[in-house]
Amino acid sequence: MKKLFSCFGLALLLDLQLLGVMRTVTVLPFANQSGNRSVRWIGESFPELLEDRLKWPGLNILGREERLVAFERMGIPYSSGLSKASLIKIGQELDSTMLIWGDFTFDGSRLKVSASLVDLSKNTLSADLQEEGELIDLQAMCSRLAWQILKSLDSSFALSREAFVSRFSVIPNIALENYVRGLLESDRSKQLHFFRQADRAYPNFDKAIFQLGKIYHQEKDYPTSSLWLQRLIRVNKDSSEARFLLGLNHLFLKNYEKATLEFQELARVVPLSEVYSNLAVALSLQGMTAEATSAFQKALEGDPSGTDYLFNRAYHYWKAGNFAGAVRDLSELLNRDTEDSEAHYLLYKCLQALGKTSEANASWSVAKQLDSRFELWETRRQIPDLFRIQSNFDETRLHRLQFEIQALQDGKS
C-alpha cells in the first residue's frame, strides 16, 4: 500500500512495532444453509453487524465496499456460496491478516450460527464459534459472536460477555432487514425504497441515511443528496465519507465556499490526497491562489505519483498566470504519461503565453492529433473547466490511516 504519511512527517514518528500488531480482518457473508432464499438477508447482516462490533484496538475491519472491489478484481460474483479456496483468495486480494466466515440455519423460528476464523499469516483455522437464538435476537447473537471472536484473538480480553453485549444498541429488526435488502438490491428504485423503509422503521439510522445520500449523489441529484448527507452529519459528525460526498455535491453545484468548508474540516481528520486536491480546486475556483497552491502541494506530498494532482496544480498555475510553473508540472506529467491529451494542450497554451512559438506548435500538433475537441476550443476561444475532481474516497486507505493515527496516539499516551 502507498505510504500515507509522507506529507505530514508522521511516518517518522510512528513506532513500527505498533503497526506490526495491526490485524486486517475481512468478514465475509455467511452462507444460508436453511434452503429458504427469503432469509438471504440474514447472511449479509453478519458482516454488517460484525464490522461495527469488531472495531477494536489492533483490528482494522474492512467494509462492504472493499469486499465488493476484491470480488470484482477476482472476477467472482459477490456471494456467500463459494469454496474456501476462493474465499481465501478474496482475503489475500484484500491484504487481510484474518478472515471470518460462517453459515447459518433458520427453521422459521430458531437461528443457529457457526463462524470460523482463518489466520492467513499462519494458515490456521479456528474451531467453530456458535450461537443460537430466536430471530428477534439476531443482533444480540451477533454481539455475543463478536465477543467470542475477540476472546479467541486475545485470551486476556478484559470485558465480560454481558458488558461487551451491552455496549451495542439494538435497532428494530425490520429496519436492519430493509437496510440489508437495500444493499443486496441492484435496482436503484428498489434500493431507495428499502433504505427509506429502514429510515422510517428506525429514524436516524445512519447507515440507511448514508446510502440514500450516496445513491442521490451517484444519480447527480446533488441537492437531494446534500439534504440526506447533512442530516447524517448531524447524527454522526464523524462520518468522513458523508462529508467527502457533501463536499463534492457543493463543488458540482458551484458552491465553492461550502465545498471549501467541508474539505477543510475533513482534511483535519482525514489528510488524504484526494481530500486536499478537492480542497485546492475549491480554493482555486474562488481565486485564493496561495491557499490553493499550498493544498495542491499537500496532495502531491501525500501521493507523489498522482498524475491528476500534478495536472490540477499545472492547470491552477496556468489560470493564475504562472506559466513557467505550469510548464514544469506538465513536462513532468508527460514524462510519465505521453498520451495525456489535455496535458499536451495545456502545455501548448503555456508555451504560447511564454512566447516559445516553435515548442508551442509542437505541443499543439500532438494535442490535436490526440483529441479533436481542442480545435473547437480554439475556434470558440472557450475552454471548459479542466480540473480533475477526485470523486473516489479510498476507504481502505482511510481505515489504515485512522488505525495508524490511533496507534500513534495510543503509543504516546
Pick out the chain residues at pLDDT < 50.
Answer: 1-20
Co-location of 116 and 34 in the same domain: yes
The predicted model scores a pTM of 0.87
Q: Mutual orientation of helices 188-201 and 206-218 as an angle, nearest 10°?
A: 150
Co-location of 150 and 254 in the same domain: no
Co-location of 16 and 76 in the same domain: yes
Q: Amino acid letter at 198?
A: A
Q: How far apart are CA 265 and CA 247, in angstroms?
A: 10
Per residue in 86-95, pLDDT tens? 778 888 888 8
| Residue at 397 is within a domain | no
| Residue at 105 is within a domain | yes
- pLDDT at 315 (0 to 100): 98
Q: How far apart are CA 246 and CA 263, in angstroms?
A: 9
- pLDDT at 396 (0 to 100): 59
> At which residue does the C-alpha cell 463478536 appear?
146
- pLDDT at 7 (0 to 100): 37
Co-location of 23 and 166 in the same domain: yes
Determine the structural domain holding residue 188 and report its residue range.
180-272
Q: How many domains does the chain have?
A: 3
- pLDDT at 2 (0 to 100): 35
Co-location of 210 and 266 in the same domain: yes
- Which grid cell sits at 351? 508555451
- Which grid cell sits at 69? 472491489
Please state, in angstroms and as integers, the Cα–Cα distance from residue 179 to each residue in 42, 117, 194, 219, 220, following that order: 11, 26, 6, 19, 22
- pLDDT at 14 (0 to 100): 38
Per residue in 361-370, pLDDT tens? 999 999 999 9
